Homo-oligomer: A and B are copies of this chain.
Amino acid sequence: MPVAVEFAESPAKSLRVGPGFSLASVDPSATPGYSGAKADGKSLLAAQDARLTELQEKLFAEGKFGSNKRLLLILQAMDTAGKGGIVGHVVGAMDPQGVQLKAFKAPTDEEKSHDFLWRVEKEAPAAGMVGVFDRSHYEDVLIHRVHGWADAEELERRYAAINDFESRLVQQGTTIVKVMLNISQNEQKKRLLARLDDPSKHWKYSRGDLVERAFWDDYMDAYNTAFEKTSTDIAPWHVVPANKKWYARIAVQQLLLDALEGLSLEWPKADFDVATERALVEQS
């Protein structure tokens, strides 16, 4: 198989949200750091699956032997931006045994009676695991901000609480990868229409998507503020252009690969004498 076109610059750098970042300044149709075309991207995605799976298995194996390392991918986006595709096509390549996926929905009455982080803490990945949040505690500073369900003071409290919470996760051994899939308002329209034009996609359509769509600019403001308040050195945000689904997928895959490579994962050393065990098995 020919070698697939790889990233010239890692998305961990080129897509990272730094000081002064603004969503208005980035192009949701761009492919930063990647010179290949769609076909190249698809080849790259497939070619890297095995590496991703191997690294994830090493993480899992280390976890069984006392390592506290773990990974948490946080996915946020406007509707139709492709969170589901990331889960299916990027996360899906990993071994289900090592993945803890949580799709956060509107909170239940019980959840609402607690602090907003109460239900999130319970879903933090265990040692050795890859946690994936499809939506997250960031909804509490996004949709809540847009609709005024939390006032300015409460929002400030939440940004600080999020940073404290994520800092504690990092201290526990978590590498946090925060991703906002960035589609344009026009691309969302196309995708909503495509859902309506395909009966096998009707179940994914909801009038609610249209309601939120009307608040597009408010959401962009809420995202920009969330980035400003919570894109920290220990848990930076990455804004992934997502008008091209194939690009978003390889970019997130590369973010996961880079995060896992950074953990210097090793197969756990045997805590037994191999020759002794071999002899015992032979005799059994």
Q: Which A residues are closer than 8 A to B by beta carbons?
A: 61, 64-65, 84, 87-88, 91-92, 95-97, 99, 101, 103, 132, 134, 189, 192-193, 196-197, 199-200, 202-205, 207, 210, 213-214, 267-270, 272, 274, 277-278, 280-282, 284
**Among all A-B residue pairs, the 8 with the closest Cβ atoms:** A202-B270, A61-B203, A203-B268, A200-B267, A192-B281, A88-B95, A96-B101, A196-B278
Distance, CA A158 to CA B268, complexed state (A)? 39
A96, A205, A213 interface centre (most CB from chain B within 10 Å) = A96
Bound together, the chains give a CA A9 to CA B171 distance in angstroms of: 55
A189-B281, A189-B284, A192-B281 given; 11 more Cβ-contact pairs under 8 Å: A87-B96, A92-B95, A92-B96, A96-B99, A96-B101, A197-B278, A202-B270, A203-B268, A205-B277, A210-B284, A213-B284
Can you report 25 residue pairs joining A to B where beta carbons are below 8 Å apart? Answer: A61-B203, A61-B204, A65-B203, A84-B95, A84-B97, A88-B95, A91-B96, A92-B92, A92-B95, A96-B99, A96-B132, A97-B134, A189-B281, A189-B282, A189-B284, A192-B281, A193-B278, A193-B281, A193-B282, A197-B278, A203-B267, A205-B270, A207-B272, A210-B280, A213-B284
Residues of B within 8 A of A196 (CB): 274, 277-278, 281
Quick check: B96 and A199 within 8 Å, CB to CB?
no
Contact (Cβ within 8 A) B61 A269: no
Oligomeric state, in copies: 2
- Which residues of B lie under 8 Å from residue A87 when comparing CB positions? 95-97
Bound CA span A64–B103, Å:
14
Closest Cβ of chain B: how far from A62's Cβ, in Å?
A: 8
Chain B nearest CB from A201 CB (Å) reads 8
A220, B85: Cα distance in complex, Å: 43
- In the bound complex, CA of A239 to CA of B189 (Å): 50
In the bound complex, how far is the Cα of B77 from the Cα of A61, in angstroms?
21
A87 to B53 CA separation, bound complex (whole angstroms): 14
Q: How far is the CA of A81 from the CA of B268 in the complex (A)?
A: 22
Given A192-B281, A281-B210, A284-B189: A267 and B97 within 8 A (CB)? no
User: CA A91 – CA B92 in complex, angstroms?
Assistant: 10
Which residue on chain B has the smallest CB distance to residue A99? B96
Q: How far is the CB of A260 from chain B (nearest CB, A)?
A: 16
Chain B residues, Cβ within 8 Å of A88: 95-97
